[in-house]
């Protein structure tokens, strides 16, 4: 796999930033590897949007959600994940197509469409993405192993 191009993270990775999350240990290891690697890794805006909706569904208020998002983005920046890929119309249209064709959840389809539209490699442990033949996905541990050689 070439180091050219971009890698993107979605909601599962963002939730993995939370110390109590089941993926936290792997995400922390991956963050350290990303920081040392110089890879172009970005956060999908669709991932942030899903975090907001999940937090709202758990009764969190806007102030708490803003603080959580700020903490997540700060943690990403300290590990050289600088950019957030905004959602655009092409992502939304692609989302609807992928949702229909592959029977994905709305957010999985949106993350997949956003990744495909950027020719990016999606960093996720969610194997549901493997249904999409043109989508390139690496699990957290596979990315870490690949970076570390």
Is the pLDDT assigned to residue 21 strictly greater than 60? yes
pTM: 0.94
Straight-line distance from the first to the last Cα atom of the chain, in angstroms, rounded to the nearest whole number: 11
- Determine which helix (DSSP H) or strand (DSSP E) holds 28, and give its type and residue range: helix 24-37
- What was the pLDDT predicted at 4? 65
- What was the pLDDT predicted at 149? 85
- What was the pLDDT predicted at 1? 47
Domains delineated in the chain = 7-148 (3.40.50.1010)
30 CB neighbour count, 10 Å cutoff: 26
Gap between the Cα atoms of 5 and 41, Å rounded: 9
Is the pLDDT assigned to residue 2 strictly greater than 70? no
Per-residue pLDDT averaged across 28-36, rounded? 95
Q: What is the pLDDT of residues 101-137, one digit of tens each?
A: 999 999 999 999 999 999 999 999 999 999 999 999 9
């Amino acid at each position: 796999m070439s180091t050219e191009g971009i890698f993107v993270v979605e909601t599962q990775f963002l939730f993995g930033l939370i110390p109590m999350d089941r993926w936290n240990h792997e995400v922390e290891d991956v963050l350290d590897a990303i920081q040392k690697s110089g890879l172009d890794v970005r956060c999908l805006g669709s991932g942030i949007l899903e975090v907001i909706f999940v937090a709202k569904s758990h009764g969190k208020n806007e102030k708490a959600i803003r603080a959580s998002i700020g903490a997540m983005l700060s943690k990403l920046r300290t590990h050289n994940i600088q950019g957030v890929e905004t959602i655009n119309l092409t992502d939304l249209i692609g989302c609807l197509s992928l949702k229909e064709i592959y029977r994905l959840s709305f957010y999985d389809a949106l993350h997949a469409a956003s990744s495909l539209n950027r020719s990016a490699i999606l960093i996720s442990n969610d194997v549901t993405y493997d249904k999409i033949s043109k989508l390139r996905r690496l699990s957290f541990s596979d990315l870490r192993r690949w970076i570390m050689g």
